[in-house]
Amino acid sequence: MTIVSENIAETLRRIAEAARRAGRNPETVRLVAVSKTVDAERAMEAVEAGVADLGESRVQEARTKFDVIGERARLHMIGPLQTNKAKYCPGLFWLIHSVDRLELASELSRRAVAAGTVMNILLQVNVSGERQKSGCRPEDAAELLKAASREPGIRVRGLMTIPPYSEDPEDARPHYGRLMEIRGELELLGVDNVSLDTISAGMTNDFEVAVEEGATLVRVGSAIFGERVYTR
């Protein structure tokens, strides 16, 4: 086994244990291996170890990996997405996690319709209210959901959030709990063309807490590929 495959096995074990602690079936939680900044060959190691979902935050980098990996894994856009990059998304990403405004939702829809497809999206909610974080305000989520539901080229599948970073995973629990509350509130609206079955929450430092709170997708990078070295 490679280091990457060993790390994946350990991450899946921890996901399963967290799910069982919460009385959940571990199969209801899917691992998204965050491969941003990792070269395509190393990302392929994760795919060969059984990972079906890779998380990317830059369109061009995702396109480069797609050229190598193709349809052997589903690519997820997990970072902020500029509206002018929407044209590259149909056929490239299986799920967009970071839709936080109607302008972006509408452009993704327009591009998907032109490509003859429907794109799956999540609404990113800034539960913590941090100014530097992307995401709509919790109080604006219902209106964004209703507006996005009327766009023909996209389907809202759920919600995503990123809590403030903390060394203590427990600090993230109230933020994930609040996201689940927001999902419950939105489900009561009964909006057509919407399925809120997907909750993207949890990263390397707190994914077990996220699973305990109800996450169905966890975005884990450093625990699989090691610490990243970011360059400008």
Burial of 153 (0-12, 13-18, 19+ CB in 10 A): buried
How does DSSP classify residue 214? T
Domain ranges of the chain: 3-225
First-residue to last-residue Cα distance in the chain: 33
Q: Which tokens belong to 82?
A: 């500029």
How far apart are alpha carbons 150 and 209 in whole angstroms? 34
| Paired sense of beta strands 217-220 and 154-160, if any | unpaired
Q: How far is CA 163 from the centre of its chain?
A: 13
Architecture of domain 3-225: Alpha-Beta Barrel (3.20)
pLDDT, tens digit, for every residue of 178-225?
A: 999 999 999 999 999 999 999 999 999 999 999 999 999 999 999 999
pLDDT, tens digit, for every residue of 19-35?
A: 999 999 999 999 999 99
pLDDT, tens digit, for every residue of 40-88?
A: 999 999 999 999 999 999 999 999 999 999 999 999 999 999 999 999 9
